[in-house]
Structure 1
Amino acid sequence: MDTQSQAQFAMPRINEPAPAFEARTTHGVKSLQDYRGKWLVLFSHPADFTPVCTTEFMAFAKHYDDFQAVNTELLGLSIDSYYSHVAWVRNIKERFGVDIQFPIIEDLSMKVAKAYGMIHPGAADTSAVRATFIIDPEGVLRAMVYYPMTNGRSIPEFLRLIKALQASDTHKIATPEGWQPGEKVIVPPPGDMEAAEKRADEGYECTDWYFCKKAL
């Protein structure tokens, strides 16, 4: 594989700086730097005016205020033109009564899509798969999820994940499967034998030395 092909299929990595970008969107030119100080959900879809993508965009829009409440912005992307995006947004509002309040990147050059590893030749050579990237206020990529062309994403899961990441950052804890705010969290396991011996007396809800929970 030549250098150009390797660059095309490069994948971003969790806990490293997210790839920088500057691109035209339906809300003017946007760059990653514009979102500094906020969480960002950057998500791609295969094409405008397609039914699965339409359901996803409406779901993101319906949860827009919920994302805003946790200091999070939304930014869509597809390898379509600005004019296609505008027409699709207007169509969604006219036909479904849903207002798309967040920007959508025009990526005809596929520059952003390639930087984020959104192009998967096994799925399609000229469309971005359903990829979702969660970027923290420092511009660090914290999570990424890829879906096939045929199946839509669950938008509430991304909102839940952001809340869990924020709780982990603030309280230095981990969260169990399906965790929701208000539920108990996982205390990091002890780092050595001495700490393991003391764990049972530290006031946590422990099943064993390595598995303890607490309320926030």
Structure 2
Amino acid sequence: MQDMMNTGRGDDNWIEVPKGYRTGKVWSPQIGDIFPNFSAMSTKGEMAFHNWAEGRWIYLFSHPAAFTPICTTELASLAEMQPDFERAGVAVVGLSVGMPDDTARWVEDVERIFGLKIVFPVVSDPDGRLSRAMGLIHPKNDKDCTIRKSFIIDPALRVRMMLDYPAFVGRSSEEVLRAIEALQMADRTGLAVPADWQPGDDLLARPGENDDADLDARYGEGWTRLSRYLKVVHTDAAERSRD
């Protein structure tokens, strides 16, 4: 691939970052980017990311290190919510700096401590190559380990959302799932998702895209005009309009 910047392609652990993404020393991800392909060992065997991910929603999250307290609770939280992610059609994958054997032993330890099964893969990044290429190390937070970064990636392999947490604050698995379901709802309906939305809540007409006549034609009495710029579409009407 001539337009790719290959980082260590001759090794078992590699990543391809398009040259157009490399605005500085590391890739600076943007919403809408195709997520780079990479290959690495995981707790479920060798992973070629694009082959594994394409065609489904992906939640990819980074961890500073194995055998650390916050990372352990996050792994357990995601494992506990695995059925909810599966119902939403989301595949989960972790990325942890460290050797594959250490990552595998840590996952087994988390399963033992919490009495659960971790069915999603956790990728090992022994020398931090993947983490540096993905921009996961923020020197002003900690020059020696990754932040807690999350990528939500759609079935076309495009980055749809990113969440950055510092090393010493754990993430909310429930918020991650809510964000993915909000993106899916926006895609299905062409509508906007309001603050604090939960599945089943009403939606909003996108600014500048839907005049009153168009909303009447699409939703009948299933929408409410609160102002010229705030128009609420009831969820049942939005779902019916897709039939």
What's the TM-score, normalizing by structure 1?
Answer: 0.90
Residue in 2 that maps onto 1:130: 148
Shift of 1:123: 2.1
Residue in 2 that maps onto 1:184: 202
Shift of 1:35: 1.0
From 210, 213, 216, the counterpart of 2:229: 210
Identity of aligned residues (%): 34
Equivalence map 1:1-216=2 (5 Å): 6-8=24-26, 10-33=27-50, 34-191=52-209, 198=213, 203=221, 204-216=223-235
**Which segment is superposed worse, 173-182 or 104-113?**
104-113
Higher relative contact order (CA 8 A, sep 6+): 1
What code does the residue aligned with 1:19 have?
P
What code does the residue aligned with 2:203 have?
V
Structure 1: distance between partners of 2:123 and 2:226: 48
Residue in 1 that maps onto 2:240: none
Residue in 1 that maps onto 2:17: none
- Cα 1:144/1:114, change in 2 over 3 Å: same
Report if the CA contact (8 A) 1:12-1:115 is conserved: no
Shift of 1:56: 0.6
**Which segment is superposed worse, 84-93 or 133-142?**
84-93
- Cα 1:160/1:197, change in 2 over 3 Å: closer
For structure 1, list consecutive stretches of 5 or more residues without a partner in the other structure.
none
* Secondary structure of residue in 2 paired with 1:152: coil
Report if the CA contact (8 A) 2:98-2:127 is conserved: no
For structure 2, list consecutive stretches of 5 or more residues without a partner in the other structure.
1-21, 236-243
Q: Deviations over 1:147-181 (max 9, x none)?
A: 01111011100101111100111110110011111
Shift of 1:6: 2.9
Shift of 1:206: 1.4
Structure 2: distance between partners of 1:106 and 1:137: 23
Report if the CA contact (8 A) 2:59-2:150 is conserved: yes
Shift of 1:38: 0.6
What's the TM-score, normalizing by structure 2?
Answer: 0.80
Structure 2: distance between partners of 1:71 and 1:136: 11
**Number of residue pairs the alignment of both structures matches:** 209
Report if the CA contact (8 A) 1:174-1:187 is conserved: yes
What code does the residue aligned with 2:47 have?
K
Report if the CA contact (8 A) 1:119-1:128 is conserved: yes
* Secondary structure of residue in 1 paired with 2:149: strand
- Cα 1:23/1:76, change in 2 over 3 Å: same
